[in-house]
Amino acid sequence: MSYDFQGIASVMTASRHLGTPSDERLNDPVNIRMSSRGKPTIARLDFDTPLAWPGNPNFVAVNLPGGATVSGVIVDIERPTNAAGWVTFTVDD
């Protein structure tokens, strides 16, 4: 399944580790570009403005305007505090 999308969405970043409470940050609205490839599916999410992140983030969920959610565990991340960035994650499909 393709998870390609470009436009405005809400992005939830989270730190979910066993034995500790979940720490989540909702970023809404965010201008994004998302593309996916492979099996298991790896998605790349590019964002134009810095996102709010919890400490030690390991999960991301993208809530698309049509009601669909694309989420998964973070594989790699570039999250500058003052510029555009990106995150790649495995998609829970």
What value does the mean pLDDT of the chain take? 95
Residue 28: the pLDDT is 94
> What's 5-90's CATH class?
mainly beta
| pTM of this structure | 0.94
Domain ranges of the chain: 5-90
State how far the Cα of 50 lies from the Cα of 68, in Å rounded to an integer.
23
CB 83: neighbour CB atoms within 10 A? Answer: 10
Residues 6 or more apart in contact with residue 18 via CB below 8 angstroms: none
Instruction: Say how far apart CA 84 and CA 93 lie, in whole Å.
Output: 27
d(C-alpha 40, C-alpha 10), whole Å: 24
